[in-house]
Chains A and B, each alone.
Chain A
């Protein structure tokens, strides 16, 4: 593989701003075209593109991962399958995508896709929280002690930090559960 292909993967793994921007510049238009010509909106295209990148990131993180293909080929395949999966969800039980649309790799790609949809849902809900809640929840999820959280957030007491943490989490859980995709994901289990 050329150094360039490896560069994209490394950018994903390191969260390198320059590399990530390059990935968007080079590949988003093509994936956008794919999704929008298959009945998706700009929003859908952005969703799929982002999810596909996250999925590739996860794949690349696994020990023993080796980029054996062109980065774009991989991205295209993953995007296509994510979109097919979504279309299938939209139509609920009426299967509209033939089985052979899904490419099956060594690992269970369907599981990967479900997980990636779920993760995207979590992140979108998270991004809907206020700045304050996002910071607080981030610290909480990273298992920072409540005392330290109170201090970092500039709260007067640990009690208030706990109260605030509950409010933020309630909001987050509510946002996740409200999302139609959440129900769909539960159903598909």
Chain B
């Protein structure tokens, strides 16, 4: 069949204009000939997509805007170095990983000294372990579920027992500022910081240092007592073997912080890494090693939303390896 004839047949078939012998012989051809099938499919898709008037309108504008907003100078194209990873192997590692993580969780629950300290009065409210932490962190729709509403009272997720009275008191203690009615400021700021949310979403891009932070979970609300909030950061890090004495450091930031640079941090916390000794064979590939970390600190902050970053201690210029967040709420 000549190309022109072929196109004609395809178009007629798609338009439902073939009938009788013409139709049945074309259908027979289709059944035998996969490349014809592919050609038909392409024509169908082209017609559907390019024949959408609304899409036409939108695309016209987007192409024009693109033209206008493209930085014209010849930008140096940097080829992304792509690490080749054996995927099958990776999967088996992931499975082992999960096992270890759950074992770790069990270990934490059982032996964690902080749990003992607060055994009678558990003020750390940590959500049950959730293996989809990462997904949660980078799923914008999920993130949004936690997004604060306008009313600060609703945002202060009450913990075990509602603390209405106490909250009232605290609200009254706040200095009353004259604020324009149109823009009522919440007493406590639980607003997501879009840029920092972006950092959380980008966590998974850091391939060399893979953090599985179990605590705090993506949606953790930590309870503060007399203005003091115990914060615990724990999890598993898979990374190239670190030099003797190399450690990770967490920095805490207010959600209103301009940047996540260490100088803007309101506090920091050493994460001592503990190398996973067992099953070294399994993790020997690609020179990656597993480290557990679990650190604890009491910070003195007002209720609100806080972000934290993890970077190499003394190696901040290397960049942030992980970003997370938690809420601090009032409690007795």
List residues of A whose CB falls within 8 A of some B CB: 12, 15, 17, 20-21, 24, 28, 30, 32, 34, 36, 38-43, 46, 49-50, 53-54, 57, 68-70, 72-74, 76-78, 80, 84, 87, 90-91, 93-101, 103-105, 118-119, 122-123, 126-127, 137-138, 141-143, 166, 169-170, 172-173, 176-177, 186
Contact B138 A77 (CB under 8 A): yes
Binary flags per residue of B84-128, CB closer than 8 Å to A gives 1, else 0:
110100100010000000000000000000000000000000000
- A76/B63 in contact, CB under 8 A: no
22 contacts between A and B (CB under 8 A): A15-B54, A21-B65, A30-B195, A39-B78, A41-B75, A54-B55, A68-B141, A68-B144, A72-B194, A73-B194, A77-B141, A77-B201, A91-B82, A98-B210, A105-B139, A119-B49, A122-B50, A127-B63, A137-B50, A142-B51, A142-B53, A166-B7
Given contact pairs A20-B58, A105-B139, A138-B51, enumerate 8 new A-B contacts (beta carbons under 8 Å): A24-B65, A42-B71, A43-B77, A73-B140, A80-B138, A80-B205, A100-B138, A123-B59
- In B40-91, the 8 Å CB interface with A consists of 42-43, 45-47, 49-51, 53-59, 61-63, 65-66, 68-71, 75, 77-85, 87, 90
CA distance A119 to B144 in the complex (A): 28
**A84 CA to B138 CA in the complex, in Å?**
13
Residues of B contacting A28 in the complex (Cβ-Cβ under 8 angstroms):
69
- Alpha-carbon separation in the docked complex, A30 to B94 (Å): 32
Secondary structure type dominating chain A contacts: helix
| Contact flag A70-B62 (CB < 8 Å), given A30-B198, A90-B82, A96-B83 | no
Q: In the complex, are the beta carbons of A98 and B50 less than 8 A apart?
A: no
Contact B69 A176 (CB under 8 A): no
8 Å CB contact of B139 from A30, A40, A77, A186: A77
A residues less than 8 Å from B47 (CB atoms): 141
Specify which chain B residues have a CB less than 8 angstroms from the CB of A103 in the assembled complex. 135, 138-142, 201
Contact A50-B62, Cβ < 8 Å, known A69-B143, A72-B194, A101-B138: yes
Distance between B310 CB and nearest chain A CB, rounded to angstroms: 17
Instruction: From the candidates A57, A78, A96, name the one contacting B82 in the complex (CB within 8 A).
Output: A96
Q: Does B261 contact A (CB under 8 A)?
A: no
Q: Using CB atoms, name the residue of chain A closest to B212.
A: A100
> How many angstroms between the C-alpha atoms of A74 and B197 in the bound complex?
11
Q: Does B276 contact A (CB under 8 A)?
A: no
**Would you call B69 and A76 a contact (CB within 8 A)?**
no
What residue in chain B is nearest A42 (Cβ atoms)?
A: B75
Whether B134 is near chain A, meaning CB under 8 Å from some CB there, is yes
Closest to A125 in B: B46
Contact at B46–A141, with CB atoms within 8 Å? Answer: yes
Is the Cβ of A70 less than 8 Å from the Cβ of B147?
Answer: yes
> Is the pair B50, A141 in contact by a Cβ cutoff of 8 Å?
yes
Task: Give the size category of B's interface with A.
Answer: 35 or more
Give the residues in chain A near B185, CB-CB below 8 Å: none
> Which of A96, A118, A176 meets B85, CB within 8 Å?
A96
Whether the pair A73, B197 counts as a contact (CB closer than 8 A) is yes
Whether A54 contacts B58 in the complex (CB less than 8 A), given A39-B79, A42-B71, comes out as yes
Which partner residue on chain A sits nearest B134 by CB separation?
A: A100
Query: A149: shortest Cβ distance to chain B, in Å?
Result: 13
Q: In whole angstroms, what is the CA distance A69 to B8 when docked?
A: 47
With a cutoff of 8 Å between Cβ atoms, the chain A residues found around residue B61 in the complex are: 15, 17, 20
- Whether A76 and B82, one on each chain, are in contact in the complex, defined by CB atoms closer than 8 angstroms, is no
Q: Per-position contact with A for B208-232: 1 when CB-CB < 8 Å, else 0? A: 0010000000000000000000000
Residues in A neighbouring B4, C-beta threshold 8 A:
166
Q: How far is the CB of A144 from chain B (nearest CB, A)?
A: 10
Sort A-B residue pairs by CB-CB distance and give the 4 closest, nearest first. A39-B80, A141-B51, A69-B144, A77-B140
The distance from the CB of B73 to the nearest CB of chain A, in whole angstroms, is 9
Report how far A103 CA is from B138 CA in the complex, Å: 6
B-side contacts of A170, CB under 8 Å = 3, 7
The smallest beta-carbon distance between B95 and chain A, in angstroms, is 12
- Point out the residues of chain A lying under 8 angstroms from B51, CB to CB: 138, 141-143
